Amino acid sequence: MKKAYLVLSNGMIFEGEAIGAEGEAAGEVVFNTSVVGYLETLTDPCYAGQIIVQTFPAMGNYGVIEEDFVGKCALRGYVVREICDTPSNFRSQYTLDRFLKEHNVPGICGVDTREITRIIRENGVMNGIICTALPTDLSSIAGIETGGQVAALSIKEKEFFPAQGEKKYNVTLIDYSAKDALIGALTSRGCDVTAVPYNTPASEILAANPDGVVLSDGPGDPAENTDCIKEVAELIGKVPVLGISLGHQIAALALGGKTEKLTYGHRGGNQPVKDVFGTRTFITGQNHGYAVLADSLKGIGDETFVNANDGTNEGMSYPDKDCVTVQFAPGGDTAFIYDNFISMMGGKDNA
């Protein structure tokens, strides 16, 4: 295997072996704490512009199963301690290394991912590159551009997804780069879903008279999506709205709230979320580097969930506007988020 390097913008260099596609990867270096689910991580479009460091040491042991993909592969680079080239799984179709090559993702293995993770936890996420020849000038790494991902990954034209079984509602999904599970959660609950591009005007959405609007998950800094924020401000209060992840953040900004960049974000399948008005704590899957500042929305909305690790906001409710948003990906024990949205649209029918 060819020698490779991970170079961080703080000047630290980690030497390992090249995996995946040939070439250089440049992006924001973040870590993911999931023990399993690397296929879901690799196909999550919210990682656009980023180099992923997997904290669990061994990756690729159960191979690649395309049925488990959750969306588009949009990450820039992949960092692991050890990669398995002989997966053992009756469902496996091919190796992780082949996946990286086919999706043009350069990677590196054989580095101390624990040390890299500690550096990010202590200093915050930073830019970096994966390369096979050390750069002579490290100053350019800090200026690597990672923005503009929503525009790049959103659908370009409307797409329609019919309800599974009896149709109950028409839902418009604003696609900031939605994962497949979000659409499936809606269609399985009797919703015809019309997905529209990220920059669709509010007037066009309202003219279609949807029963509800969903603001999808997506990558990057929510505040850079100024046009999206403006259009969402025109939607909230006129139709029931559900916001997920990036959609949660854009809704908050549209209502006059603020967001902040987290030191190292929440990325993994084990993020604990506490119900503010109840007694339960849910284990959720998350992938984001920004958080809503709940205090900036006092008098406008109510905080519904907080992260049990760091106390940051994980959900908001705006009862006067028929709008509910959450930072995490609903599923399992938190699938009731979708059911509540369905009930909200039902309340519109009965009003």
pLDDT tens-digit profile of 137-184? 888 898 898 999 999 999 999 999 999 999 999 999 999 999 999 999
d(CA 6, CA 82): 15
Question: Region 263-278: what's the mean pLDDT?
Answer: 95
d(CA 321, CA 335): 22
Residue 307 confidence (pLDDT) above 60: yes
Treating both helix axes as pointing N-terminal to C-terminal, what angle do 246-254 and 226-235 enclose, rounded to 10 degrees?
70
Question: Region 307-316: what's the mean pLDDT?
Answer: 97
User: What CATH fold (topology level) applies to the domain 3-146?
Assistant: Glucose Oxidase; domain 1 (3.50.30)
- The residues near 343 (Cβ < 8 Å, ≥ 6 apart) are none
User: What CATH fold (topology level) applies to the domain 150-350?
Assistant: Rossmann fold (3.40.50)
If you compute the radius of gyration of the chain from its CA atoms, what whole number of angstroms results?
20
- The residues near 274 (Cβ < 8 Å, ≥ 6 apart) are 280, 281, 282, 305, 306, 307, 308, 314
- Exposure b/e, 4-19, CB count within 10 A at least 16 = b: bbbbbbeeeebebebb
Contacts 24+ apart (CB under 8 A), 235-239: 235/202, 235/205, 235/206, 236/318, 236/321, 236/323, 237/320, 237/321, 237/322, 237/323, 238/206, 239/205, 239/206, 239/210, 239/211, 239/212, 239/213, 239/322, 239/348
pLDDT in tens, 53-92: 999 999 999 999 999 999 999 999 999 999 999 999 999 9
d(CA 49, CA 231): 25
* Domain coordinates in residue numbering, the chain: 3-146, 150-350
d(CA 249, CA 327): 8
Q: Which helix (H) or strand (E) holds 115?
A: helix 113-123
d(CA 50, CA 226): 22
Contact 60, 36 (CB under 8 A): no
Residue 351 confidence (pLDDT) above 60: no
Mean pLDDT of the chain: 96
Q: Which helix (H) or strand (E) holds 59?
A: strand 58-59
pLDDT in tens, 193-210: 999 999 999 999 999 999
First to last CA, the chain: 66
Angle at 198 between CA 255 and CA 163, to 5 degrees: 100
d(CA 211, CA 196): 15
Find, among 45, 19, 20, the residue nearest to 287 by Cα: 45
d(CA 351, CA 47): 41
What pTM value is reported for the model? 0.95
The one-letter amino acid code at 238 reads: K
Local confidence band at 113 (pLDDT 50, 70, 90 cut-offs):
very high
The percent of residues in the chain predicted with pLDDT above 90, rounded, is 95
pLDDT in tens, 120-141: 999 999 999 999 999 888 888 9
Name the DSSP class of 64: B
d(CA 280, CA 274): 6
Residue with tokens 């696609």: 175
Contact 303, 292 (CB under 8 A): no
